[in-house]
Amino acid sequence: TKAGHQELPQETIVRKVPVLGFSQLGSESAWRLANTSSIMESAAESDVKIMMENAEQSQDKQFEAIREFVKQKVDVIAVAPVVETGWEPVLREVEKAGIPVVIIDRYVDVSDTSLYVTHIGSDFYEEGRKAGKYLLDKFSDQREPIGIVELKGTEGSTPSIARGKGFRDVIANHSQFRIIESDHADFTTDKGKEVMKKFLHERKGQIRVLFSHNDDMTLGAIEAIEQLGLVPGKDIVIVTVDGTRRALEKLSEGKINLVVECNPLLGPNLIQAVKEIVKGNTIPKRIVTTENVFTQVTAAGEIVNRSY
Ligand code: GZL
């Protein structure tokens, strides 16, 4: 060998552990916490080194985290985008640095979809449709007006936009269904209680249905409904999205009428995608998580299965 230059024995393969920079949008709900632990556990089980930054609902903090990942020259960047818009500039910077991007959970509204390799997450529009279809069935024999109030998630987020649209598209041609109040409650229990209190104060006798974009807001709304002496699940029919254990418990108690599942356990899909990407393999542009609905009949059996 050349003086001082130690050749590695041929059989040594120096395998670099892939480094994933993950910008998580926050910790606002039980769903989000389950999403984070699923991703962290999957990374720990595989040989993927993960650096996660929690943006606590701030898109600017997500931009900062992504720019830091670029400086650190990570192998892949994953983003759970708090809102849909405003991503083009920072994703251009990542593209220039030659780092592949995975969009996880919510979606980014960009004109050039080559800015990300794949989007892994639910079909939120379908979740909204499932909620609407349940009401068509439940009230199929009733003709009088049905007043609906809607607790919306974070303004500008894909689940809030798409669940609202899917729901509206299904009830659109059934004029007895009327959305009489609709407001954002940011996917949190406290805000859900506060906004539901406002709805009840303004519209008490007219509210027959609550459509809530996530279970955490629903739990707050149930407190507000019960504080007024009304019976959730009976006086006010409640349809909610996520499928957390606490919502399924209320479902089995009859305080919720339908829970539309939104699966947070995206860790295995994300880590598998990272491995494929670093090996240079192509993966589908869109990976949709499979999801169900839970009724008062199926709730009890499901509760034991919920890890979140
Ligand atoms: C949906 C996810 C939403 C959940 C909420 O995939 O983005 O954000 O429905 C969470 O519980 O806060």
Asked whether residue 4 carries a pLDDT value surpassing 80, the answer given is no
Give the pTM: 0.94
Q: Is the ipTM of this complex over 0.95?
A: yes
Of residues 14 and 270, more confidently modeled? 270
* pLDDT at residue 13, rounded to an integer: 65
Tens digit of each residue's pLDDT (9 = 90 or more) over 141-182: 888 999 999 999 999 999 999 999 999 999 999 999 999 999
Q: List CB contacts of 228: < 8 A, sequence separation 6 or more.
A: 200, 204
Gyration radius of the chain over CA positions: 22
| Spacing, Cα 153 to ligand 1 middle (Å) | 8
In the structure, what pLDDT confidence band is assigned to residue 204 with cuts at 50, 70 and 90? confident
Mean pLDDT of 124-137: 98
| Ligand 1 close to Cβ of residue 62 (< 6 A) | no
Q: How confident is the model at residue 1 (pLDDT cuts 50, 70, 90)?
A: very low
Pocket probe mutation, ligand 1, options 160, 163, 260, 262, max atoms within 8 Å of Cβ: 262
Crossing angle of the two packed helices 30-45 and 215-227, in degrees rounded to 10? 150
Give the angle 213-190-145 at the CA atoms, nearest 5°: 45
| pLDDT recorded at residue 16 | 83
Residue 7 in this model has a pLDDT that exceeds 80: no
From the alpha carbon of 216, which atom of ligand 1 is closest?
A: 11
- Choosing from 29, 158, 261 the residue with most ligand 1 atoms within 8 A of its CB, the one to mutate for a pocket test is 29
What's the gap in Å between 106 CA and the centre of ligand 1?
A: 8
Give the mean pLDDT of the chain: 95
Whole-number pLDDT of residue 290: 86
Which atom of ligand 1 is nearest the CA belonging to 105?
6
